[in-house]
Amino acid sequence: MSENAKELKEQLMMKEHKGAATYSPEVLAKAAEYCEGYKTFLDNSRTEREAVSYVKALAEKEGFVEFEPDKKYSPGDRVYVINREKAIGLAVIGKNGTSDGVRLAIAHIDSPRIDLKPNPLYESNGLALFKTHYYGGIKKYQWTAIPLALHGRVVKLDGSTVDIRIGDDPKDECFLITDLLPHLDREMATKTMSKAFTGEDLNILIGSYPYDNSDEKDLIALNVMKILNERYGICEDDFLSAELNFCPAYPTRDVGFDRSLIGGYGHDDKCCAYPSVTAIFDTKLPDCTCITYLTDKEETGSDGNTGMQSDFLRYFIYDLSKADGNEGYRVLSKSKCLSADVNAAFDPTFSSAYEPKNCSFINEGVVISKYTGHGGKYDTSDASAEFMGEIRAMLKENDVKWQVGELGKVDIGGGGTIAKYVANMNVDVVDLGVAVLCMHAPFEVISKPDIYMAHKAFYGLFN
């Protein structure tokens, strides 16, 4: 007797999307508990420096110690390396060391933001403002008329440093980019979005009181500098050796009546960074040496000595390989990596931008992106069928819910990740991460079970 259509469909066809309905109450409860730690991490990791500092503190509590290149390590040892306070690697030494390659989970910890120009301070018509240069891909209008916090570091002429963080606490002062009232913006409304608000319009309002009522010029700017000097000991010249940026000044929040979602700044890509960190914390004695690496500068092309195109990670793997008596390039050729980066979740309000059969959905688990890039697969790594098969099997074995996803329609969407730079080291790599709504906005949204599934996926790779 032949099989009926229902039975055959169950055997041969892909399962329909059912969202959170496929999760047990126990998994949803674990996801909710897991995300409390993530929300704390997100609120304390607005910048890459802050993320590295926070992860280092967590790692030391988990028994990780600073790596010493000439020291011999044993299976189960836990080490970390830091690159200029903006990138961090965590490694657990495997039973086989590096002989069979290493297992890598790599995420980035920079996010779109508003940076200060080197010479930012000016005064105009009774107001003091900062000139800025935006970082990464943003919709400029989304950053107007919202409270902003100032984060970063100033290096003074004597070499001493000052870390600044103002605006996150509701008791702090905050800052903002002003916008034009609707009564006066009829002309602006007729312009295209890119011309209605330009990069030079992203000026930060920082004060309005003058230092005194004398005839000197720029007394409001002077008053701002007086406050900064009294508080931090800096003068205007110190902006020339500073890394100061503005990010949203509101905390991470649960979203929805059911509290199933998390809204906050910087999910891209910290919602992949955090689970890759917790996964290596839970890894005790793997077969292969495992590495979680959190990198910088992804949002601007991964250039620079703290970005993924730097040789820092390669040299770290070479040092680990040398300690085992292995050649670093041979270790890389046997290595496997999950490029831990987000994908765009389907948004029913803007459904025309997506191709529904090949996009990711909230609550459907982690997203595998075989390739990214744009157009005809330009600027991308395209994972092999063999490696895709390995990852599928690993996810199934570890009971990880997953989905496949592209970044929008062909010729409309597209984007890049660090996967291509990993692939260039002759490492097998594929993108795997969390689906995000409102990506690159000041307030992004993810699903609690999705980030928990990311933790399980990275743990599965390591173990």
Q: Enter the tokens of residue 242.
A: 């500073």
Give the pLDDT band of residue 1 (cuts 50, 70, 90). Answer: very low
13, pLDDT greater than 60: yes
pLDDT at 399 over 90: yes
Alpha helices per DSSP H over 308-463: 312-323, 328-333, 385-397, 419-423, 448-462
Task: Provide the β-strand partners of residue 104.
Answer: 291, 337
Is residue 16 pLDDT above 80, yes or no? no
Q: What is the CATH number of domain 115-248?
A: 2.30.250.10
Domain ranges of the chain: 14-111+265-462, 115-248
pLDDT at 187 over 90: no
18-71 pLDDT tens trace: 888 889 999 999 999 999 999 999 999 999 999 999 999 999 999 999 999 999
Q: What is the pLDDT of residues 222-246, one digit of tens each?
A: 999 999 999 999 999 999 999 999 9
pLDDT > 70: what percent of the chain?
99
14-111+265-462 and 115-248 share one fold = no
Terminal alpha carbon distance of the chain = 44
Above 70 in pLDDT, residue 2? no
Q: Are 134 and 203 in contact (CB under 8 A)?
A: no
pLDDT higher than 70, residue 285 = yes
Confidence of residue 410 (pLDDT cuts 50, 70, 90): confident
How much is the mean pLDDT over the chain?
94
Per-residue confidence at 248, pLDDT binned at 50, 70, 90?
Answer: very high
Tokens of 249: 């000044």
Architecture of domain 14-111+265-462: 3-Layer(aba) Sandwich (3.40)
pLDDT at 94: 98
Rounded to an integer, what distance in angstroms lies between the CA atom of residue 132 and that of residue 121?
Answer: 10
| DSSP character string of 11-34 | HHSPPPP-GGGGS-HHHHHHHHHH
The b/e string for 211-221 (b: 16+ C-beta within 10 A; e otherwise) is beeeeeebbbb
Separation of alpha carbons 63 and 40, rounded Å: 21
Cβ contacts of residue 460 below 8 Å, gap of 6+?
A: 394, 395, 397, 398, 400
